[in-house]
């Protein structure tokens, strides 16, 4: 009987866990981020359900991977152009709120939540806490993916906010160490964000109760109160690594997996690109502004001037761009799609001109390529400032007449080998790890499931009020004690010298 039971346990565990991964953000980079989590889980034999905006882009045809269509989320791109500099934080928060509500209202998602049982839920941090509901109604561990370097908004979910006095915020261009006024700026920004969160809390709570209340009722389970679950995160998977983001203390349930989205086996280059790269003895400059920035964002005049600059170089230029040009100089090759990793891995690539998106920046680290960063929005200015500070990059301000500045920066990067030396050195740091990120992902998600939430890895800071871990209560006690000691001493001195002052004052009067 025991043997039978053991056999069953073995067989059951060999089947793997049922893990649900959500990708509700209609952006290709977020698709890559979540795919990077799905892939190792599928490979480890788990039954993964991948709810994604781009089901057609899922290449993995494994039997243990189920893809759920969320392509109706593409419509949210109509409300907002992420590359428009006029887009504010409030717009992005509105988008994230729209996405969260739409996700939980999706019939396929509701059906899974009511009728299926998963072992863990993976969501991505994107400004709301409504996603807490999925793990809460299922009663299973919540794995939170953070597609940025570790920042205070994620930090406050799992720990005290330790980064505020020492690190620039995620949207700041400030470099380390921060000056007094930069730290003040940091604090003000954080206070504004906190005020915002405080205001949205009741909205999130209401949405949570409305949508997940109905799901919990249909499942026949009670809905835990929002305040108990909105930060009930078991594991944070963070797209950070000390070779890029500054080293700061983190609780043991924050796992740094930067570079996990990069395929360990570099796909072969198409024949024509391979030939171009191999034959470019003077080197290659690779130019891509990512997937969110539309071609129309580069004005006609800017394009012409950039082509002039590139045409004057002896290096080959590979340019990822949505539109084609006529009469291009021979050394410029424009394609709407480029296999970025395979290009960056080629030894002839000398410079990567980039918008400084995190994924591109991390790929440049993986392959040790110097950067010419032209950041546009979101965390790009922050990443670019960081790459400049590490010595891997030169930065140029994005503007319609940036071409001369681009030329200057290119010359500097090609003339001075300190950038490529630094890039090679950082690449060594980036790759020097005990475990591959994919191993960490499966290990920690399995651990969270097997320990029912990895409580032993969570920071105990949540036992305390903010003024307790800042030791303000103890400081108050110290002030009170000092005041009492001071008062007692003053009294004692007064008593001991009681006669003296009177005499002296009398004398004075006399």
Ligand X SMILES: *[C@@H]1O[C@H](CO)[C@@H](O)[C@H](O)[C@H]1NC(C)=O
Is residue 69 a contact residue for ligand X (CB under 6 A)? no
Are 163 and 236 a contacting pair, CB within 8 Å?
A: no
Is residue 278 a contact residue for ligand X (CB under 6 A)? no
Of 91, 100, 89, 98, the closest CA to residue 130 belongs to 100
Is residue 105 a contact residue for ligand X (CB under 6 A)? no
145 forms beta bridges with 124, 237
Nearest distance from residue 392's CB to ligand X, in Å?
10
Is residue 389 a contact residue for ligand X (CB under 6 A)? no
The helices-and-strands tally (H runs, E runs) of the chain is 19, 13
Nearest distance from residue 140's CB to ligand X, in Å?
6
State which of positions 119-138 bind ligand X (CB under 6 A).
136
Nearest distance from residue 155's CB to ligand X, in Å?
19
Is residue 76 a contact residue for ligand X (CB under 6 A)? yes
Are 342 and 272 a contacting pair, CB within 8 Å?
A: no
Is residue 160 a contact residue for ligand X (CB under 6 A)? no
Is residue 452 a contact residue for ligand X (CB under 6 A)? yes
Nearest distance from residue 495's CB to ligand X, in Å?
59
CB nearer to ligand X: pick between 116 and 228: 228
CA dihedral of 106, 446, 159, 385, whole degrees rounded to 10: -80
For residue 74, give the DSSP letter: G
Is residue 141 a contact residue for ligand X (CB under 6 A)? yes
Q: Encoding tokens for residue 92?
A: 């992005």
Is residue 229 a contact residue for ligand X (CB under 6 A)? yes
The site string for ligand X over 209-228 (x = CB under 6 A, - otherwise) reads ---------------x---x
Q: Is the dihedral of CA 20, 24, 26, 32 positive or negative?
A: negative
Nearest distance from residue 286's CB to ligand X, in Å?
21
CB nearer to ligand X: pick between 80 and 266: 80
Is residue 322 a contact residue for ligand X (CB under 6 A)? no
* Count of CB atoms situated within 10 Å of the CB of 377: 18
Nearest distance from residue 123's CB to ligand X, in Å?
13
Nearest distance from residue 67's CB to ligand X, in Å?
24
Q: How far is CA 372 from CA 85, 289, 358, 360, 394, in A?
A: 20, 11, 14, 12, 5
Sheet hosting strand 371-373, strand order edge to edge: 332-335, 316-320, 284-288, 349-354, 371-373, 393-395
Q: Encoding tokens for residue 164?
A: 């505020």
Is residue 411 a contact residue for ligand X (CB under 6 A)? no
Q: Encoding tokens for residue 439?
A: 């191993």
Distance CA 488, CA 201 (A): 48
Nearest distance from residue 418's CB to ligand X, in Å?
4
Nearest distance from residue 235's CB to ligand X, in Å?
9
295 by Cβ neighbours in 10 Å (0-12 / 13-18 / 19+) ranks as exposed
CB nearer to ligand X: pick between 141 and 375: 141
Q: Choose the stretch contacting ligand X; rule: CB under 6 A; options: 9-17, 93-101, 288-296, 483-491.
A: 93-101
Is residue 88 a contact residue for ligand X (CB under 6 A)? no
Q: Is the dihedral of CA 40, 59, 122, 49 positive or negative?
A: negative
Residue whose Cβ sits closest to ligand X: 453
The residues that touch ligand X, with contacts defined as CB under 6 A, are 76, 79-80, 91, 94-95, 98, 136, 139, 141, 224, 228-229, 232, 234, 416, 418, 452-453
């Amino acid at each position: 009987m025991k043997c039978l039971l053991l056999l069953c346990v073995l067989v059951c565990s060999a089947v793997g866990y049922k893990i649900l991964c959500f990708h509700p953000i209609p952006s290709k980079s977020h698709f890559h981020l979540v795919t990077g989590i799905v892939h190792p889980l599928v490979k480890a034999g788990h039954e993964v359900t991948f709810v994604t905006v781009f089901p057609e882009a899922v290449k993995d045809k494994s039997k243990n991977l189920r893809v759920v269509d969320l392509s109706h989320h593409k419509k949210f791109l109509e409300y907002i152009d992420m590359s428009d500099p006029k887009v504010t934080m409030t717009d992005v928060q509105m988008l994230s709120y729209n996405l969260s509500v739409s996700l939980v209202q999706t019939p396929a998602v509701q059906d899974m939540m009511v009728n299926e049982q998963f072992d863990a839920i993976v969501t991505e941090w994107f400004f709301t806490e409504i996603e807490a509901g999925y793990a809460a109604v299922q009663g299973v561990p919540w794995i939170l993916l953070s597609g940025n370097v570790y920042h205070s908004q994620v930090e406050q979910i799992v720990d005290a906010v330790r980064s505020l006095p020492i690190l620039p915020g995620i949207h700041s261009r400030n470099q380390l160490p921060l000056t007094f006024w930069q730290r003040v700026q940091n604090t003000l920004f954080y206070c504004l964000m906190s005020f915002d969160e405080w205001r949205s809390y009741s909205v999130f709570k209401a949405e949570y109760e409305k949508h997940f209340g109905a799901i919990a009722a249909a499942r026949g389970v009670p809905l835990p109160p929002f305040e108990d679950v909105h930060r009930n995160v078991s594991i944070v998977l963070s797209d950070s690594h000390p070779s890029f983001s500054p080293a700061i203390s983190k609780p043991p349930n924050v796992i740094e997996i930067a570079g996990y989205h990069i395929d360990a086996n570099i796909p072969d280059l198409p024949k024509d690109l391979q030939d171009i790269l191999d034959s470019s003895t003077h080197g290659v400059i690779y130019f891509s502004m990512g997937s969110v920035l539309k071609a129309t964002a580069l004005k006609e005049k800017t394009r012409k001037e950039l082509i002039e600059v590139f045409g004057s170089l002896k290096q080959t230029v590979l340019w990822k761009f949505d539109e084609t040009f006529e009469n291009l100089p021979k050394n410029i090759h424009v394609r709407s799609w480029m296999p970025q990793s395979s290009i960056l891995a080629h030894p002839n690539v000398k410079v990567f001109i980039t918008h400084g998106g995190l994924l591109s920046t991390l790929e440049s680290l993986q392959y040790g390529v110097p950067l010419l960063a032209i950041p546009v929005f979101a965390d790009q200015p922050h990443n670019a400032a960081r790459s400049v500070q590490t010595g891997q990059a030169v930065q140029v301000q994005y503007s319609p007449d940036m071409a001369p500045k681009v030329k200057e920066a290119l010359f500097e990067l090609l003339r001075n080998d300190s950038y490529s030396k630094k890039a090679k050195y950082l690449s060594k740091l980036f790759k020097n790890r005990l475990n591959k990120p994919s191993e960490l992902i499966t290990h920690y998600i399995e651990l969270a499931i097997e320990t029912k939430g990895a409580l032993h890895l969570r920071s105990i800071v949540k036992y305390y009020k903010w003024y307790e871990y800042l030791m303000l209560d103890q400081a108050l006690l110290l002030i009170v004690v000092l005041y009492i000691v001071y008062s007692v001493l003053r009294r004692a001195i007064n008593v001991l010298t009681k006669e003296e002052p009177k005499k002296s004052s009398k004398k004075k009067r006399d």
